[in-house]
Amino acid sequence: MSVLNRCFLLLVVLILGISSLKSQSNVIDEVIAVVGDNPVLRSDVEYQYQQARMQGVTFPGDMKCHIFEQLLLQNLLLEQAKIDSVDVSENMVISTVDRQINEFINRAGSRERLEEWLNKPLHQIRREQRVLVRNQMLTQQMQGIITDDVRVTPAEVRAFYRRMPEDSLPMVPAQFEIQKISVEPQVSIDEEERIKTRLRDFQRQINEGRDFATLAVLFSEDQMSAARGGELGFMTRAELVPEFARVAFTLQDPNRVSQIVETEFGYHIIQLIERQGDRINVRHILLRPRASAEEVTKARQKADSIANLIREEKISFEEAALFHSMDKETRLNGGVMINPRNQSTKFEIQHIPPTITRQLERMEVGDVSSAFELMNERLGKNYFAVVRLKSRTEPHKANIRDDYQLLQTMLENQKREEAFIDWIIRRQRETYITISPNWINCQFEHKGWVK
């Protein structure tokens, strides 16, 4: 495992893990190291050790020593972040913590169960999580700055490939390039009016004294916020879709409800909770109009007719995507799907949505599928898709012709690793570091901690 990845593994364990640890008050705490102005506490090591064991994480050698070194490294990065005045968005910290706390509550089953498991009130859990998340974001950002100047040239990539022994070349799994056209069922004016009428009734009930949060829990179709009474947490204008932000940021009175707002997600009503500078916390109720069975049938038939026109070569897939696809992300590039993991056009089979995978299993390169139904998870809407298998690369050992991007990434990662290790060595020499005698016998990966 690389130093870059290993550096944050335990932080990830902390953020993703929910354990049944009770209070650590029985642990006699002590400062076991100081890096610059940052202390490392024995309780930090013990807590992360218990979390790692709970998650089944293992390391060669002494796990506590390994955790200890990761905390030393984290504090070295935090010290550098302080020197360089590196900061992170407080709003990003808060929104990340809100999302994590919701995940914790869902896993525990309830807020009360979570507090019982951790033997802490929710406000304390949230406060501690904010420290963890802020430190994680700072150290990630600092690492990015340290290795930001790493660049490789085509000549270096070719030389890297020539130097690599044949048996060290990675196997590249089968990869697919896919084009997609999306057709959404139309929603009738009557259905839109039905949704608006229902939201107007909610407005009336709230104005007559009914609790907005209760209605959100019962009726809002935004699953992420409904359990919190529709509360979104503090956000900037840029983090909200424009139509929603435009109305939300005009709200002044927490006792009043907004007008009905239409966005790509559906229809909303909004209530102000609190403002903090350029951030706002609101709650909302979302209702999504539904297409009729007749419109769903029409959408499927339209998608199938588009597929037939392409097969009959009366229109190219690229032209069909431009003129008929409702997918804003792909319609302008011929319908070619982009892999969000690496922004390339190639997908490994496990990263393709299963519904699309089932279509590909019976397709040859150049084939166009019949229409099939998909779900837009972000918007919570069903639609019909037609896909074309643009290319398929069979499993093979990496080569410079087909896998230049992969080899370039491998070399860049190697150079980033080397640059990061050089930085650690240099900063260890320049930074005040002291370690408790009880911990100096750890087998450290980086030898410069003990001076």
Torsion angle, CA of 79/83/88/93, rounded to 10 degrees? 30
**In the chain, where the domains are located:** 173-187+292-397, 189-287
For the ranges 16-20, 55-59, 97-101, 305-309, which has the lowest average pLDDT? 16-20
What confidence tier does 2 reach under pLDDT thresholds 50, 70, 90?
very low
pLDDT tens digits along 401-434:
888 988 999 999 999 999 999 999 999 999 999 9
What confidence tier does 382 reach under pLDDT thresholds 50, 70, 90?
very high
What confidence tier does 54 reach under pLDDT thresholds 50, 70, 90?
low
The whole-number pLDDT of residue 376 equals 87
Which CATH architecture best describes the domain 173-187+292-397?
Roll (3.10)
Give the mean model confidence (pLDDT) for residues 225-251. Answer: 90
pTM of the model: 0.64
Question: Tokens 């410069």 appear where?
Answer: 448
Phi, then psi, of 390 in degrees rounded to 5:
-75, -40
Give the mean model confidence (pLDDT) for residues 371-393. Answer: 92
Side-chain half-sphere exposure of 44, counting CA atoms within 13 A: 24
The whole-number pLDDT of residue 297 equals 96
| Percent above pLDDT 90 for the chain | 64
Give the mean model confidence (pLDDT) for residues 74-98. Answer: 85
Q: Is the pLDDT of residue 251 over 50?
A: yes
Which of 2, 118, 90, 1 has the alpha carbon at shortest distance from 416? 2
The whole-number pLDDT of residue 10 equals 34
What confidence tier does 28 reach under pLDDT thresholds 50, 70, 90?
low
User: Tokens for 276?
Assistant: 């903090």
Q: Is the pLDDT of residue 284 over 50?
A: yes
Q: Is the pLDDT of residue 193 over 60?
A: yes
Which of 161, 162, 220 has the alpha carbon at shortest distance from 195? 220
pLDDT tens digits along 320-365:
999 999 988 899 999 999 998 878 899 999 999 999 999 999 999 9
What fold characterizes domain 189-287?
Chitinase A; domain 3 (3.10.50)
Give the mean model confidence (pLDDT) for residues 112-135. Answer: 83
Question: Which of 2-11, 90-99, 126-135 has the highest mean predicted lDDT (pLDDT)?
Answer: 126-135
Q: Is the pLDDT of residue 319 over 90?
A: yes
CA–CA gap between residue 32 and residue 439 (Å, rounded)? 7
What confidence tier does 441 reach under pLDDT thresholds 50, 70, 90?
very high
The whole-number pLDDT of residue 22 equals 35
Domains 173-187+292-397 and 189-287 fall in the same CATH topology: yes
On average, the pLDDT of the chain sits at 87
The whole-number pLDDT of residue 214 equals 95
The whole-number pLDDT of residue 55 equals 62
For the ranges 20-29, 230-239, 315-324, which has the lowest average pLDDT? 20-29
Q: Is the pLDDT of residue 14 over 60?
A: no
User: Tokens for 390?
Assistant: 């643009």
Q: Is the pLDDT of residue 192 over 60?
A: yes
Give the mean model confidence (pLDDT) for residues 167-181. Answer: 93
The whole-number pLDDT of residue 18 equals 33
Compare 59 and 284 and report the one with higher pLDDT. 284
The whole-number pLDDT of residue 343 equals 82
Angle CA(57)–CA(59)–CA(64) in degrees, nearest 5? 90
DSSP labels, 103-155: HHHHHHSSHHHHHHHHTS-HHHHHHHHHHHHHHHHHHHHHHHHHTTT----HH
Angle CA(38)–CA(82)–CA(51) in degrees, nearest 5? 50
The whole-number pLDDT of residue 12 equals 35
The whole-number pLDDT of residue 7 equals 41
Give the mean model confidence (pLDDT) for residues 86-109. Answer: 78
| Percent above pLDDT 70 for the chain | 93
